Each structure stands twice: as structure tokens, then as C-alpha cells.
């Protein structure tokens, strides 16, 4: 069946995207279902709430088999996300709205500045330069059983085309080691390599448009 790329059309689509977020987390290995509510709210929630028009769904028939969340202007998005999503999420995490686990504890520590975030691991000037050249960002995930069929490439193609139409000069992403080759085939270059012990290495990659 042909794969179609469009935008989320219903609450059911967003629920499918959140489920995929949990099933494809941590470089595609997936996480236990008990972690999905907070994890998917952290990663999908701000895009659903603030920029639904920049989310893309890949469908095989009526089934969502992959998605891409992104934005054309990361600094502006981060300011809105802090006020309209991260603060409310912080309060909910403190009040026990989500099951207490390492995800919520890490989020609280980082929100309070008690633990380093990825952004704090490289100099501010490097981050400002990155955002001036590659202001857009994205996250893309595809059902593990359907990888290798060009789904991720189609999602990226739709996003990149819309960025070009909007006059955005470049896009960046952050990933672990496993998908680096995939992104290189889509003309993303490694810009920054960040050691994140004990988890391993993260890569900041960018593509000019």
C-alpha cells in the first residue's frame, strides 16, 4: 500500500503519534509503556499545542506509521515552550500528575538547573551560531517494523520543502550514533559531537537549505 504524508487530522492521530514516540524512543529500541504518558508529553506535547501545522504524519492506509515534529524558528519556539508548556509540565510533575520515575526526576532536576541539559554542554557562542545558520529543528520516528521503506525520507522531504517555501536557511537535529548514517544520506552534516556519559555520544547535525 502506498505511503501518504500529511498532517495530523484528529485526536486519534495525535494519540498514534504519542504511542509511536514511546515505541521508537531511545534510538528506536522503545521504552516500557509506563513511561509513555510523561515521555510523549515532553517530546510531542509542545508541538501538538504550539505548532501542530509543522507536524507530519506518514500513513499506510488509515494507520499512522511514522511522524515528524519540527519548527522553523527554534529560539522563538523555545521561548513559547518554556512559558506555555514546560512551566505547566513542571507543576504537574511536582504535583504527581505523572508517575514518578527517572524521566520526571530528570526533568525536574534540569528545570531547576540542578543537572546539565544538552544545550549547556557546549559554548553559548556555538549555540547562537548554530541557530543563526540552522534555525529550524526536527524529530522524526518511524515504526520499527516499517523502516527501510523510505518513510523517514518522505517525512523529511515534506518538512524540508515547507521550510524552503518559508525561506528558512537551514535545519538541525540531535541524535545518537545509530541514525547518523541515515541523516548523512539526507545531506545533514555532523556539526557538534557531545559526550554524554554514561549514555554515550550525541550528535548535532545540520543541513543548509
- Summarize pLDDT for 81-111 with one digit per residue, the tens: 999 999 999 999 999 999 999 999 999 999 9
Residue 198, pLDDT score: 64
pLDDT one-digit tens code per residue, 33-79? 999 999 999 999 999 999 999 999 999 999 999 999 999 999 999 99
Question: The domain 3-115+137-168 belongs to what CATH superfamily?
Answer: Gcn5-related N-acetyltransferase (GNAT) (3.40.630.30)
Residues with Cβ within 8 Å of 32's Cβ and at least 6 positions away in sequence, in order, are: none
| Percent of the chain surpassing pLDDT 90 | 79
pTM of the entire predicted model: 0.94
Place of cell 505511503: 3
Q: Which residue, among 136, 127, 94, has the nearest Cα to 112 in the 3D structure?
A: 94
Structure-derived torsion over alpha carbons of residues 39, 143, 84, 204, reported in degrees to the nearest 10: 90
Residue 199, pLDDT score: 60
Whether the CB-CB separation of 142 and 152 falls below 8 Å is answered with yes
Alpha carbons 21 and 28: distance in angstroms, whole number: 9
Whether the CB-CB separation of 142 and 153 falls below 8 Å is answered with no
Amino acid at each position: 500500500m502506498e505511503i501518504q504524508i500529511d498532517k495530523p487530522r484528529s485526536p486519534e492521530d495525535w494519540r498514534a503519534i504519542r504511542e509511536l514516540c514511546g515505541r521508537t524512543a531511545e534510538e528506536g529500541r522503545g521504552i516500557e509503556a509506563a513511561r509513555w504518558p510523561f515521555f510523549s508529553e515532553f517530546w510531542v506535547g509542545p508541538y501538538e499545542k504550539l505548532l501542530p501545522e509543522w507536524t507530519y504524519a506518514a500513513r499506510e492506509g488509515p494507520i499512522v506509521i511514522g511522524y515528524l515534529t519540527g519548527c522553523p524558528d527554534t529560539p522563538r519556539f523555545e521561548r513559547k515552550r518554556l512559558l506555555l508548556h514546560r512551566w505547566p509540565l513542571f507543576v504537574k510533575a511536582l504535583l504527581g500528575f505523572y508517575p514518578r520515575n527517572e524521566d520526571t526526576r530528570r526533568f525536574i532536576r534540569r528545570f531547576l538547573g540542578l543537572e546539565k541539559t544538552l544545550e549547556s554542554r557546549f559554548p553559548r557562542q556555538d549555540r547562537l551560531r548554530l541557530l543563526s545558520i540552522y534555525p529550524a529543528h526536527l524529530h522524526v520516528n518511524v515504526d520499527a517494523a516499517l523502516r527501510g521503506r523510505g518513510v523517514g525520507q518522505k517525512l523529511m522531504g515534506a518538512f524540508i520543502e515547507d521550510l524552503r517555501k518559508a525561506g528558512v536557511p537551514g535545519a538541525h537535529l540531535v541524535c545518537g550514533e545509530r541514525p547518523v548514517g541515515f541523516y548523512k544520506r539526507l545531506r545533514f552534516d555532523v556539526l557538534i559531537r557531545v559526550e554524554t556519559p554514561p549514555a554515550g555520544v550525541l550528535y548535532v547535525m545540520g543541513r543548509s537549505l
